[in-house]
Structures are given as structure tokens and as C-alpha cells.
Amino acid sequence: MLIGCHLSSSGGFMAMGKQASSIDANVFQFFTRNPRGGAAKEIDPKDASDFCDYMKEHQFGKILAHAPYTLNPCGKEARVRDFARLVMEDDFRRMEYVPHQLYNFHPGSHVGQGVEEGIRLISGLLNELLFPEMTTTVLLETMSGKGSEVGGKFEELREIIDRTTLSDKLGVCLDTCHVHDAGYDIVNDLDGVLDEFDRVVGLSRLKAIHLNDSMNPFASHKDRHEKIGAGSLGLEAITRIICHPKLKDLPFYLETPQDVAGYGEEIAVLRRLQRENLP
Ligand code: FE
Ligand code: FE
Ligand code: ZN
């Protein structure tokens, strides 16, 4: 099972790899820079190449870089969109120090411009920034649809992908809290939701799962993560998710409100649940 959690990137790649191993994780997620944006520390090439070796030795799955939350590729002001461009361009360059990994971003909020204009701006930015030689797969995250967020519906993700020329570089990261809050009933009809995802986006695009419980009820369009089993998804639904034949081999990244020790406990529980419940 490929499972891990969000870790602090302040100590570099090797520090994250060792911290992951210490809690029996074999993948992890990290922010490419301060989550509120700003300058990133330059990558240490030695740390990156040591980590590439470490990943092989310890049979890690793909690591997932997360763009800053404040990034808005479909903001109304040019200044906001320019910031998104600068950050993502720099992130894509830095990702190549650890090739063939995953990069996740929130499609953004159209802030009253309309979802069509949002989609046009997001795919426009991807068309500027994706380059043929890049080895990173860029993931659009499924969102809860709060405010003017783009990506609360599978159709919106599909349209961004359709309008992006180098769409072979694109995939989707499904956040279990977000899709539940968006109104996809993964608690009572997981098969139905996955069929819908397959029909609209295509399951081959699904590259990662953000595994979170939710503090809010179904279709609340809220987005507050809860600890595994303590929210409106519950442990049974989460067990069905990690054991589903179409999901069980994907990497799972926890973004629950936990410290590192707490993540370790969740990972142990989830590994045991998958082992006991897989046919
Ligand atoms: Fe996210
Ligand atoms: Fe997420
Ligand atoms: Zn969230």
C-alpha cells in the first residue's frame, strides 16, 4: 500500500524521506514553498539526488508537491495571475531535480468572472507553462466548490484537460473530503461516483488520492478536513475507499489535522484495515 501524509519541507528531501520512513509511510506530500506563497529555497542538488536513491532503496511511490494555497491561476487581476505563473513556472523547473513525480494545484477561484472564463484562464496558463520535456505529472485537485472555486464538478476538470495542448502531462488528484463536500456521495455510492468520474474524466487520469475525513455534512461545499474516522465519511466508507479495486493501488496522502505522530497512527490503522479487508 502506498500511503503517507503531508510533511514539512523545511529540512529538504532527505529529511522528509527519513521522516516518512519513521512512520511507515512510503509516499508523502509537501509544499513547494511557504503555503502562502513567496520565494522558495533553492534546491540542493546533492540532497535531491541522494533522495532519488533513497526512494529506490525504500521502494517509495511518487511524492506529491503541492502548490501554495494562495495561488490563483484564474484570478481577476493580472497581478494575481502573474504570481501564479511565476510560482508554477519556478516549481516545474525545480521539480525536475527529482524527476517523474507529481505536482498538485487547486484550479483556482474565478471570483465572479464565471466558470467558463476561469477554465479558459487555467488552461491558458497550463498551455504557457507545460513543456514537452517535463517529466512531472501535473494534477488538478477536485475541489469542494466553495465560493467561486473551479473544480467542484468533474466536468470542469475535464474541460481544463480538453483545452490543454500537452494534456498527457495532466492528471487528477481526488480529495475525499472535497468530493464529499462537493456533493459526490462516496459514502453510500462509491461505485456510482467512480463510474461518473470514469465517464467524465477517465479513471486513467486519476493519479493520487488525498485521504481525509470531513468535518461537514454531505454537499456542504465547505472543505474542512477531519481526522480519519472522526468525520462525516467515517471509517467504514474510508475502508471501502482504500480497498476499492480501482483505487487500492493509487498513492494515498493524508491531510488530516494531525502532527507527525498522529499521522503515523492513522497510517498504521489504514494499513491494517486494507490488509484485513482486501479479498
Ligand atoms: Fe489541496
Ligand atoms: Fe487536498
Ligand atoms: Zn481541503
pLDDT of 37 > 70? The answer is no
pLDDT for position 6? 98
- The residue that leads in pLDDT, 36 or 206, is 206
Section 20-37 average pLDDT: 91
Residue 210 CA, ligand 2 centroid: distance in Å:
5
Q: Which three cell numbers stand for residue 16?
A: 522528509
What spacing in Å lies between the alpha carbon of 46 and ligand 2's midpoint?
Answer: 30
Closest ligand by atom to 223 CA: 3
For ligand 2, the distance from its centroid to the CA atom of residue 255, given in whole angstroms, is 7
What is the residue-averaged pLDDT of the chain? Answer: 97
**Distance from residue 65's CA to the centre of ligand 1 (Å):** 10
Whole-number percent of the chain with pLDDT over 90: 95
Average pLDDT for residues 10-33, to the nearest whole number?
Answer: 97
Instruction: Enter the C-alpha cell of residue 203.
Output: 479513471
Instruction: Give 278 Cα–ligand 2 centroid separation in angstroms.
Output: 25
CA of 68 to the centre of ligand 2 (A): 12
Å from CA of 224 to ligand 3 middle:
6
Least confident of 17-26, 28-37, 205-214, 270-279: 28-37
Report residue 150 CA to chain centroid gap.
15
The radius of gyration of the chain from alpha carbons, rounded to an integer in Å, stands at 18
**Helix locations, the chain, DSSP H:** 13-22, 45-57, 78-95, 115-129, 154-162, 176-182, 190-200, 234-243, 260-277
Distance 141 CA to ligand 1 centre (A): 6
CA of 279 to the centre of ligand 1 (A): 31
The alpha carbon of 141 and the centre of ligand 2 are apart by a number of angstroms equal to 7
pLDDT-derived band of residue 182, with 50, 70 and 90 as boundaries? Answer: very high
With pLDDT > 70 as the criterion, what percentage of the chain qualifies?
A: 99
- Using the mean position of ligand 2's atoms as its centre, give its distance from the Cα of residue 209 in Å: 8
Ligand nearest to the CA of 104: 1
* Per-residue pLDDT tens over the stretch 70-116: 899 999 999 999 999 999 999 999 999 999 999 999 999 999 999 99
Pick the CATH number of 3-277 from 3.30.70.1230, 3.20.20.150, 3.30.750.24, 3.40.640.10: 3.20.20.150
Domain boundaries, the chain: 3-277
Distance 211 CA to ligand 2 centre (A): 8
Q: How many angstroms does the Cα of residue 9 sit away from the middle of ligand 2? A: 17
Query: Which residues are placed with Cβ below 5 angstroms of ligand 2, an ion?
Result: 175, 210
pLDDT value of position 54: 98
Distance (angstroms) between ligand 3 centre and the Cα of 179 equals: 10
Say what the pLDDT of residue 40 is: 83
Which pLDDT score, from 0 to 100, does residue 279 have? 80
pLDDT at 14 over 80: yes
* Residue 258 binned pLDDT confidence (cut-offs 50, 70, 90): very high
Whether 197 shows a pLDDT value over 70: the answer reads: yes
Return all residues near 99 (Cβ < 8 A) that are at least 6 apart: 52, 135, 136
Ligand nearest to the CA of 69: 1
Residue with cell 467512480: 194
Q: Who contacts 221 (Cβ-Cβ below 8 Å, separation ≥6)? A: 144, 145, 146, 152, 181, 182, 183
214 CA from centroid of ligand 3 (Å): 9
* Mean pLDDT value across residues 249-264: 98
How many C-beta atoms lie closer than 10 Å to residue 163's C-beta?
15
- For 124-180, the pLDDT digits (tens) are 999 999 999 999 999 999 999 999 999 999 999 999 999 999 999 999 999 999 999
